[in-house]
A and B are shown apart, each in its own frame.
Chain A
Amino acid sequence: MKAIISRGFKPIDSPSPDNSARRWTLKEKLLLGMTPRQYFGQAVCNPFNWVLGLIFLIGVPLLIYRFAFGLGAVTHSSYDYPWGLLLGFGLFVMVPLSASGFLLGTAVNIFGRHDLHHIERLALLNGLLGYFFAVVFLLADLGQPWRLPYPMFVAFGTGAVLFLVAWHVSTYLSVQVAEVSEGFFEWMNWPQAAKFVKKITVGLTVSAIILSTLHQGALGALFTYAPGKLHPLWYAAEFQWIHFFCSSIAAGLCMVIVVSTIIKKTMAWRCDAGFLDNLDAQTITLAKGACMALITYFAIKMLAVAHDNEWAYLATGWGLWFLFELAFGILLPLVILSYGIRRERAGIVRLGAFATVLGIALNRLNCALIAFNWRLYQEVPHWAEVMLCVTIFALYIVVYRAILYRLPILYSWKAKEAHAPEAVKERIPFGVSVRPSHHQVFRTRD
């Protein structure tokens, strides 16, 4: 891609080529303005694509194998360990990492933090894709995935926590589709639709907060069904859902920092100046939020240990592992993040964000797999299950990248240059979900 751009190529970021009256066709938009030959050429040149290709070469047949011969053929999921890596990683890790959508939506649309708007769309997309792929992981893990709509339409276990998760994740997915669709409508040049989405933004955001609080918490509450099975240090009947909710705030914010870091390194050509110039400042702002969440999370973690009086467990092997999780997953990131924030060093903050993401992922894996059934035996995932997780995650990256290449997430859709001087056009000059008045305010402040 870099080679093509150095030869003067400019990827599509407006409705028509060079201010002419002609509009880009959909095919041109999909190929970013390249000829099919050029597009294919740059894709083949990218070594990362070879890695992806290799993963799919192994993973896709494996996925087919899983559906043809059942879960037992590819997992160690057993009568004692009903939940393996597919859920432990795919659901319990992916969902908190995708809390970014509602967090940034809230910050920008509810608290009026319009200084974060350059990164808002990325956060929304990160949320949408994370949830979507959590469902994909779930589909690969469910015994009868074709029955997934049952709790919606056929049989209602209304008292079950999973019932809440199912309803909330599915409604929240549609809320997120609506939130992200604004960029899609701009890209398609459907300004009326984009305008409509903008109008209901605040309503969407508030429902997103409610739904997220509840299902992030519900994932934690799922473990309260298993008091004897999850190690007491990870188990807290009253606090479990708050632990999960609170840590998802840090996880979601830091995931945006991690993703934007990767983007900056690998996809700078797709970002506009607004995104790149503001990234460091926004990274630090996000990190401040993550710090607050981590401090709260740490406090309530300790509170839970104190409440159930579990200090004695800390002196055991499991206690050491628990302390490691606290030190590596909460305290270390906290130290790095606050150092980075104090010195205003975005690079250090990024390191801290990365550590946070790993730390929260470790917590979820501990709950779902490692500290689960601590009195029985330790489950080691089947290689095929690991490979399935890698494959689905690779698919997630491919879809993520494909959308970032095209839709105005990292850049603004320059609708203004189009030869269609309707009133609507003026209202979305930069194609971001902020109103012109604000935008000007912040441009002068920058």
Chain B
Amino acid sequence: MSRRKFLAASMAGSAAATLSLTSGAFGAALLEGYPDGMGVLVDMTRCIGCRSCEAACNKEQRLPAPDMAFDDPAAFDYSYHAGQKRRTTEAAYTVVNRYEIKGEEQPVYRKIQCNHCNEPACLTSCFVNAYTKTKEGAVVFNDKVCVGCRTCMVACPFNIPAYSYSSAFNPVVKKCVFCYETRLKNGLPPACVEICPQEALTFGNRRDLIKIAHQRINDNPGRYVDHLYGEKELGGTSWMYLSSVPFEQLAFDTTLGREPIISNVKGFLGAVPMVLAIWPALFTGFHLLATKKKHAEGHQDDHHIQEDDKR
């Protein structure tokens, strides 16, 4: 093989890969804020665990009938795998769990659902771009393209996306969609927020919610711990929480830090173009060095083949 042909061949190989990759690496950096983003402030000190939000979500999202009725308090005692409380599933986009805290008279109730991250890990990990962060702040999901690799479930730091394992022919990821199609898009609050009898859930512009939350903390320093969970965590989430007890006692992950998940991956994504740029030249060099030695030994292989070609 002539050197020119070899170079051409290796360039063609890497060029094809480069095209798909550089865009990928840059895509990862394209995350800015959502000025019009809406959100929900969950004030856990107000929640009484009535589970009407669960029922409203079930109705709004046309989910199958629940295993346990929405007024059955036994749901709070349910646990699986030694101590795991209920979590979101393909049939329940939101659940409310009860936590008995030592030293507190009342149990604390925590509603979980997708937090609609500002820089969603599910979105950045999906290789078919099934997720979209809308300008209203919702993280919605296109089940027409989901392949079912479940990487988004691995990536979500809050363990939110659930997968319809029971479906044989159209299993897809399911999670809270902020009632985007039916409500948010039209400026309406989500079903779960609307139904809450305690006003534990406040719907509004995310920036306003942050102000309201800090106002509440300042006005009632004895009532709240001084932390708005979701304001800064992982680049911020649209749904944020206020609590009367330290968050880790309510099974919130307080070790997540402020950097969005994608920051952990950027090191590798940044190395990709470098490998593409450096490897071909490096290994071409090695190859030339190795064959040069053969020339010196008098076994000039390039020469040999070229002669054959002429025949």
Contacts and interface: CB of A to CB of B under 8 A. Distances in A.
B283 A106 contact: yes
A221 B125 CA distance: 11
Contacts of B151: 82, 160, 162, 222, 225
A28 interface: no
Contacts of B21: 164
Nearest to B11: A203
A336 interface: no
A143 B147 contact: yes
A438 B299 contact: yes
Given A112-B291, A157-B127, A238-B267, A147 B299 contact: no
Contacts of B8: 203
A70 B165 contact: yes
B248 to A, nearest CB: 11
Interface string B19-41: 01101110110100000000000
Interface in B267-309: 267-269, 271-272, 275-276, 279-280, 283-284, 286-287, 290-291, 293-294, 299, 301, 304-305, 308
Interface stretch (A17-25, A129-137, A148-156): A148-156
Interface stretch (B44-52, B80-88, B203-211): B80-88
Contact of A157 (B126, B167, B265, B283): B126
A210 B149 contact: no
A207 B23 contact: no
Given A72-B166, A159-B28, A435-B301, A240 B268 contact: yes
A241 interface: yes
A147 B143 CA distance: 12
A71 B172 CA distance: 12
Contacts of A72: 165-166
A377 interface: yes
A273 interface: no
A302 to B, nearest CB: 19
A264 B272 CA distance: 40
B290 A111 contact: yes
A110 B145 contact: no
Interface residues of A, number: 80
A15 to B, nearest CB: 21
Given A159-B24, A206-B13, A237-B267, A82 B305 contact: no
B176 to A, nearest CB: 14
Interface stretch (A29-37, A226-234, A322-330): A226-234
Contacts of A83: 150, 154
A206 B280 contact: yes
Given A221-B265, A225-B265, A435-B304, A157 B128 contact: yes
B27 A209 contact: no
A151 B146 CA distance: 10
Nearest to B159: A80
Interface stretch (A5-13, A51-59, A165-173, A348-356): A165-173
A415 B288 CA distance: 30
Interface stretch (A93-101, A211-219, A281-289): A211-219
Contacts of A441: 299
B10 A207 contact: yes
B153 interface: yes
A437 B10 contact: no
A189 interface: no
Interface stretch (A194-202, A253-261, A292-300): A194-202
B121 interface: yes
B16 interface: yes
B215 interface: no
Contacts of A158: 20, 23-24, 27, 129
B68 interface: no
A112 B264 contact: no
Contacts of A157: 126-130
A80 B127 CA distance: 20
A276 to B, nearest CB: 26
Nearest to B88: A79
Given A167-B17, A227-B261, A228-B157, A154 B145 contact: yes
A144 B24 contact: no
B253 interface: yes
A376 interface: yes
B147 A228 contact: no
Interface string B95-109: 000000000000000
B150 A82 contact: yes
A435 B300 CA distance: 10
Interface string A407-446: 0000000000000000100010000000111100100000
B152 to A, nearest CB: 9
A79 B162 contact: yes
Nearest to B279: A210
B150 A143 contact: yes
A346 to B, nearest CB: 26
B247 interface: no
Closest 7 CB pairs of A and B: A143-B148, A203-B9, A207-B13, A72-B165, A112-B290, A159-B27, A82-B150
26 contacts: A70-B167, A70-B171, A82-B150, A82-B153, A106-B283, A111-B290, A142-B147, A147-B128, A150-B145, A158-B23, A159-B269, A160-B151, A163-B127, A199-B305, A200-B1, A203-B8, A203-B13, A206-B279, A210-B275, A213-B279, A227-B256, A237-B265, A377-B81, A435-B301, A435-B304, A438-B294
Given A111-B287, A156-B128, 14 more contacts: A72-B166, A79-B159, A142-B148, A147-B148, A151-B128, A157-B128, A159-B262, A160-B151, A162-B149, A167-B17, A207-B14, A224-B267, A238-B267, A377-B81
Interface of A: 67-72, 75, 77-80, 82-83, 106, 109-112, 142-145, 147-148, 150-151, 154-168, 171, 175, 199-204, 206-207, 209-211, 213-214, 217-218, 220-222, 224-229, 237-238, 240-241, 376-377, 423, 427, 435-438, 441
Interface of B: 1, 5-6, 8-10, 12-14, 16-17, 20-21, 23-25, 27-28, 30, 81-82, 84, 87-89, 121, 124-130, 145-151, 153-155, 157, 159, 161-163, 165-172, 253, 255-256, 261-262, 264-265, 267-269, 271-272, 275-276, 279-280, 283-284, 286-287, 290-291, 293-294, 299, 301, 304-305, 308, 311
